[in-house]
Amino acid sequence: MTGDFRPGDPIRMDETAAELGVSVTPVREALLTLRGEGMVNLAPHRGYVVADLSRTDVEDIFWLQGQIAVKIALRTADMVSPEDVELLTACNERLRAAVGSGDVDEIVDAEFDFHRTHNRISASDKLAWFLFNATHYTPHRIYAADPDWGSVAVDSHARLIDGYRTGDRALIVEQVQRQFDDGAARLVARLSAAGIWDPEPRG
């Protein structure tokens, strides 16, 4: 999802184990998990290789995340209290400060804290679990290192909170979708720039 590995790149268990400083066994188990999630394939006579990832795949992943997130947000709208609004505002101010400092670790943690707090308000534990798993491979640190993404995230959160404060459900849906549309567009642009969809030269 970061573009560091291209579709079809081989993953050699011995080399990967040495890189990570572990035995081959956990690497093999991890690759089995990744194969089950469609991230790698087992190719005859080649071993494990990175699975294909198309633009449509990326768009579909973010579309699914957005659909789940909208459902959670509308439930949050039905349950949110003034105290919850203030708590979300404090979380977003933490993110704003982190974006201002450029501290990638703090940005990742603050963004996660905002969404965790938000999702808990909805009391939609199963949906939140599905959303967490759907975002499992999102390259959070790449986004966090992008100041423009940070500005959009903070602004979108602020407008989302305004939607909860005023009961504007259309604004709530708009801002949730904005975040996932923005995420998809940025990742597609990054992967395009990395050339993962360009044909590899042979010979």
Q: What is the mean pLDDT of residues 115-144?
A: 91
CATH homologous superfamily of domain 55-192? GntR ligand-binding domain-like (1.20.120.530)
pLDDT for 44 beyond 60: yes
Supply the CATH classification number for the domain 10-52: 1.10.10.10
Q: Which two tokens stand for residue 152?
A: 């959009």
Q: Which residue has the higher pLDDT, 199 or 109?
A: 109
Q: Which two tokens stand for residue 94?
A: 């933490």
Give residue 94's pLDDT.
Answer: 97
- The rounded distance, in Å, linking the Cα atoms of 39 and 34 is 5
Q: Which residue has the higher pLDDT, 202 or 151?
A: 151
pLDDT for 201 beyond 70: no
Give residue 199's pLDDT.
Answer: 56
- Residue pair 50/6 in contact (Cβ under 8 Å)? The answer is yes
Give residue 184's pLDDT.
Answer: 94
Q: What is the pLDDT of residues 141-170, one digit of tens each?
A: 999 999 999 999 999 999 999 999 999 999
Taking the C-alpha atoms of 135, 139, 140 and 145 in order, what is their torsion angle to the nearest 10 degrees?
Answer: -160
Ranges of CATH 1.10.10.10 domains, the chain: 10-52
Q: What is the DSSP code (8-state) at residue 3?
A: S
Phi first, then psi, for residue 188 (nearest 5°) are -60, -45
With bands split at pLDDT 50, 70 and 90, how would you rate the model's confidence at 1? confident
Order across the sheet with 47-50: list the strands.
10-11, 47-50, 40-43
Ranges of CATH 1.20.120.530 domains, the chain: 55-192
Distances in Å between the Cα of 25 and the Cα atoms of 31, 39, 70, 92, 187 are 10, 19, 40, 42, 32
- The number of helices, as runs of H, and strands, as runs of E, in the chain is 9, 3
Give residue 119's pLDDT.
Answer: 94
Neighbours of 118 (CB within 10 A): 25
Q: Residue 97 half-sphere exposure, CB side, CA atoms within 13 Å?
A: 9
Percent of the chain scoring above 70 in pLDDT: 97
Residue 156's contacts (CB-CB under 8 Å, 6 or more residues apart) are: 175, 178, 179, 182
Residue 161's contacts (CB-CB under 8 Å, 6 or more residues apart) are: 85, 88, 89, 92
Phi first, then psi, for residue 196 (nearest 5°) are -70, -15
pLDDT for 30 beyond 60: yes
